[in-house]
């Protein structure tokens, strides 16, 4: 599922739940989804983790700098340290 497909599905769900005169547009949903992604990234970057109720955990994983190889030439290269966000669904979300 793409981000656009996800937003269309969320639009349908929210518009069913809202009164007819309060329906949202796809632009409203795009703003909310983008805001959610930015907020998750910001909180995890500052605090190291984020637990969203019975849904999931986001955690900041740090990778140390290391030596790697260029697959084309076989030459050794230095790979810089990096940070990644890890997503772990909780039991209520698993099927």
Domain ranges of the chain: 1-47, 49-94
pLDDT over threshold 80, residue 59? yes
- Residue 23 has what pLDDT? 87
Please give the model's pTM, rounded to 2 decimal places: 0.68
Cα 5 to Cα 24: distance, rounded to the nearest angstrom? 16
Q: How many CB atoms lie within 10 A of CB 11?
A: 19
Q: How many CB atoms lie within 10 A of CB 79?
A: 12
The average confidence (pLDDT) of the chain is 91
- Eight-state DSSP code of residue 72: T
- Residue 42 has what pLDDT? 94
Give me the architecture of the 49-94 domain, per CATH: Irregular (4.10)
pLDDT in tens, 8-32: 998 999 899 988 888 889 999 999 9
């Amino acid at each position: 599922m793409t981000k656009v497909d996800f937003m269309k599905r969320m639009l349908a769900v929210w518009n069913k739940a809202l009164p007819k005169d309060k329906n949202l547009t796809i632009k409203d949903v795009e703003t909310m989804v983008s805001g959610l992604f930015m907020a998750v990234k910001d909180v995890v970057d500052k605090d190291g983790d984020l637990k969203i109720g019975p849904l999931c955990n986001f955690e900041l994983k740090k990778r140390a700098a290391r030596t790697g190889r260029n697959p084309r030439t076989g030459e050794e290269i230095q790979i810089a340290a990096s940070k990644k966000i890890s997503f772990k669904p909780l039991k209520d979300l698993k099927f």
